[in-house]
Amino acid sequence: MGVLEWATSPWGQRVPIHIAWFLIWVAVIAGFLFFIVHATYLRYFAKTREFAGGISPAEAARIPEHVPRHSLAARLFHWIMAASMFVLLFTAFLPKVGVQFNWVTYHWIAGVVLTASILFHIIHASFFMDFWAIWPDRIDLRDAWRRMVRAAGKPEPPPDRFAKYPLENKLYHGAIIAAGLSAIITGVFMMSRVRTVFFPRNPYLFSDMTWGMMYVLHGLAGVGLIALIMVHVYFGLRPEKRPITKSMIFGWMSRDFYLKEHDPKRWVVETSSSSSSSPSTSKGLEGRGLTDAG
């Protein structure tokens, strides 16, 4: 059983027409297997996380009680993108598992919304945000190596606290970019095969072989997004990740979580005199071990 389905063109050429639809279930099962393996590892094998260095009470006192993380524009983009992606996946794959409805119009409209939101995000991230904050740097790679070595029980210095985005967030972002752009670019061309308000229908824009490969890439990106979105929702619901999820709703995370997970030198936040803690608060911070290495 192959992963592609083939057909013969009117000219006798054997061309791919789309992926084999059993890959939908492969993606779903892979997502659930990831849940089980990850939860089992955290429950029985993961060690207590330690970080190098410490945060002084004076430095901690300068951090506001609510640390800004996501602007309103970034949050609106995220939820619009999420809604359009769910509509795209449901309209694409529900008919393939037996739920029949007139899905084409809903699918291309959701695709237009997703494309517009991504274009907005590219401009917003490039000119109004720290563009490089979401890309891995040398410290991320060094600390990933340290965590692997320490997990194997070998001596290695503890990693630093995270920047604004931990390495796993950055790697996930890269995977979403690859799958999302593959689906968007192929989807924009595929819109020429259906009637829309944007341009006339033209199913002869490419050769049969090119169309076939485009459908295959679009389908592979789609099933890949099934697994990626399942993993994203899983981490968003995990107790230790809920402060990050809440920050995508309210725009901020608590000072305690920030100081526990993030390095003020790698993620510099806005501070003000009104947000500084009193001496008694600073003493409490010191009592909670913020000056310790762990």
Least confident of 115-119, 196-200, 290-294: 290-294
Averaged pLDDT, 192-215: 91
Give the pLDDT of residue 216.
97
232-247 residue pLDDT tens: 999 999 999 999 999 9
Are 220 and 16 in contact by the 8 Å Cβ rule? The answer is no
Please say if the pLDDT value at position 287 is more than 80: no
Q: From the CB of residue 42, how many other CB atoms can be counted at a distance below 10 Å?
A: 11
Please say if the pLDDT value at position 3 is more than 50: yes
Distances (CA, A) of 96 to 20, 176, 186: 10, 23, 19
Please say if the pLDDT value at position 1 is more than 70: no
Instruction: Kindly indicate the confidence band of residue 279, based on its pLDDT and cuts at 50, 70 and 90.
Output: very low
Distance CA 113, CA 60 (A): 42
The domains located in the chain, with CATH, are 4-55+72-250 (1.20.950)
Please say if the pLDDT value at position 275 is more than 70: no
Give the pLDDT of residue 264.
94
61-117 residue pLDDT tens: 999 999 999 999 999 999 999 999 999 999 999 999 889 999 999 999 999 999 999
**Average pLDDT value for the chain:** 90
149-192 residue pLDDT tens: 998 889 999 999 999 999 999 999 999 999 999 999 999 999 99
15-32 residue pLDDT tens: 999 999 999 999 999 999
* Sequence-ordered list of residues with C-beta below 8 angstroms from that of 244, at least 6 positions apart, any chain: 236, 253
Give the pLDDT of residue 273.
43
Give the pLDDT of residue 290.
37
Instruction: Say which residue the tokens 């389908």 belong to.
Output: 219
